[in-house]
Amino acid sequence: MQKAGKRVPGIVIAGLRGGSGKTVISLGITAAWKEKGLKVSPFKKGPDYIDAGWLSKAAGRPCYNLDTFLCTPSVVTQSYHENSIQCDIAVVEGNRGLYDGIDMDGTTSTAELAKLLNLPILLVLDCTKSTRTMAALLLGCMKFDPDINICGVILNRVAGKRHEGKVRTNIEKFCNIPVFGAVPKLKAKDFPERHMGLVTSEEHAFSDTAIRAAAKVARDTIDLDALYQTVTRQHHGSDSKEIIKTNLKKQRLTQSDPVTIGIIRDSAFQFYYPDNIEALKKLGATIVYISPLNENSIPDVHAIYMGGGFPETHAPQLAQNKTFRDDLKKLSQNGLPIYAECGGLIFLGQSIQLGDQEFPMSGIFPIKFGLSLRPQGHGYTKVEVVHENPFFKAGELLKGHEFRYSSILEIEYKDHEMAFKMERGKGIIDKKDGFYKLNTFGTYTHIHALGSPSWAPSLIEKAKAFKAGLAG
């Protein structure tokens, strides 16, 4: 076990592109190391809920997102340190290609994160229909930025021993980089890979079986001991005093002023950053989880936080639970603070149209939603708060991300009811987002509490005010 105050050794698992197989390999390595008795701290680079959910299940502990667009580099470094300090090793799964970022400088790329955290990179190479070229691609990655440390590679989707041998020989000759394993093309019976990135671990009926299968793939095809020794040997620890503390940690409610925040969480609504929930707890809130799929009413709470998810796949069940929907609408009309993102926003609307069926939602907002085959909003967002609203001050600049297939079929709103002007991203309609009525607020923009430090205190203050009103 690492000593308190020392940074934990870790590895960044990256690919040459999205879909290269790094998620399955990250899961397998994490689960297999856990089986060996190691405490593995999982992280996901970028704004991703699904991969993070799978990594959390594989490690048996929360997976935290590391994102230098949403948060400052010092906050990202602090998150890595604080959320891995009690573990033996950290596994950071990258996203997209190693050098892919938001600009020509590779800002927000996996490579830049690895450099920020001073972590070695394990590069996953999709070897489909390729042999010697893989050495050329690897050499290019090594030379493109000499400041990164590619400590080894995993060959993925190899067609057999002959194919593997050719790739290995070329990499060892031209790149002088160790090959820690070669993973064959996985069949459905070996691992349901087609589900990865498409289905959440909570929805996957065979998630435990899938994790065990990924661990077996790692055990059978990767030299886990050699990889672990390489990572720990290249580790350079640093004292915890180098970590910059955020102001959020210092803000706490007194025990005499507790509030209860209800979080809507089940298989329909499950997209939450652990940091967001923890930010509310650190400010003194008691958290209760509420399921519109399994409960008929809402318990006594002083505010509600609704994250994203897939309400469209559960639309019939949500529509059938009229008592819950009516209860939520009544509470909204009574001024209960409600903050909703993406899927939560849909549940606040009038209805969602799926094919030739229309399913009623809570009816708080005059919006009718549909569902498209292609993403209607995808990527990072920047918003300016242009109108007074329950949760943010006019003039604030926020960073977030959006990823949605839902579309707006009908909407009625007045301009001042849209708090956000989109500087980057699409929003709800006409580059506007942040729809609100009374103390109910819905947005397509997901924010990270550590990158938007005003959010958690604002929700807490609204909860306190609502509680005070009940007492009065």
Please identify which of the residues 63, 151, 175, 342 carries the catalytic annotation. Answer: 342
d(CA 267, CA 276): 18
Query: Which pLDDT score, from 0 to 100, does residue 202 have?
Result: 60
The per-residue pLDDT for 195 is 42
**pTM of the prediction?**
0.90
Distance (Å, whole) CA 456 – CA 459: 5
Long-range contacts at 72-77 (CB < 8 A, ≥ 24 apart)? 72/451, 73/116, 74/244, 75/244, 75/246, 75/450, 75/451, 76/113, 76/116, 76/117, 77/116, 77/117, 77/243, 77/244
The strand pair at 40-45 and 432-437 is best described as: unpaired
Across the strands, what pairs with 435?
A: 418, 442
> What is the model's pLDDT at position 235?
76
User: Is 141 a residue of the active site?
Assistant: no
> What's the alpha-carbon Rg for the chain, to the nearest Å?
23
Collect all residues with Cβ–Cβ distance below 8 Å to 313 and sequence separation of at least 6.
203, 268
> Average pLDDT by consecutive 10-residue portion of the chain (472 residues)?
66 94 95 97 94 94 96 96 95 96 92 97 97 97 96 97 96 95 80 49 70 94 97 68 42 65 95 96 97 95 96 95 97 98 97 96 97 91 96 97 95 96 96 97 97 97 94 67
Count the alpha carbons within 13 Å of 389 in the hemisphere toward its beta carbon: 30
**Residue 368, Cβ neighbours under 10 Å: how many?**
18
- The residues with which 183 forms a beta bridge, in sequence order, are 156
3 state SS for the chain: CCCCCECCCEEEEEECCCCCCHHHHHHHHHHHHHHCCCCEEEEEECCCCHHHHHHHHHHCCCCEEECCCCCCHHHHHHHHHHCCCCCCEEEEEEEEECCCCCCCCCCCCHHHHHHHHCCCEEEEEECCCCCHHHHHHHHHHHHHCCCCCEEEEEEEEECCHHHHHHHHHHHHHHCCCCEEEEEECCCCCCCCHHHCCCCCCCCCCCHHHHHHHHHHHHHHHECHHHHHHHHHHCCCCCEHHHCCCCHHHHCCCCCCCCCEEEEECCCCEEECCHHHHHHHHHCCCEEEEECCCCCCCCCCCCEEEECEECHHHHHHHHHHCHHHHHHHHHHHHCCCCEEEECHHHHHHCCEEEECCEEEECCCCCCEEEEECCCCCEEEEEEEEECCCCCCCCCCCEEEEEEEECEEEEEECCCHHHEEEEEEECCCCECCEEEEEECCEEEECCECCCCCCCCHHHHHHHHHHHHHHHHHC
User: What is the sign of the dihedral through the CA atoms of 464, 465, 470 and 472?
Assistant: positive
pLDDT of the residue at 248:
41
CA 461 to chain centre: 26
Question: What pLDDT score does 242 carry?
Answer: 43
User: Domains plus CATH for the chain?
Assistant: 10-242 (3.40.50.300), 250-471 (3.40.50.880)
Q: Are 407 and 376 in contact (CB under 8 A)?
A: yes
- Give the sheet arrangement for strand 40-45, strand by strand: 64-66, 40-45, 89-97, 10-15, 121-126, 150-158, 179-184
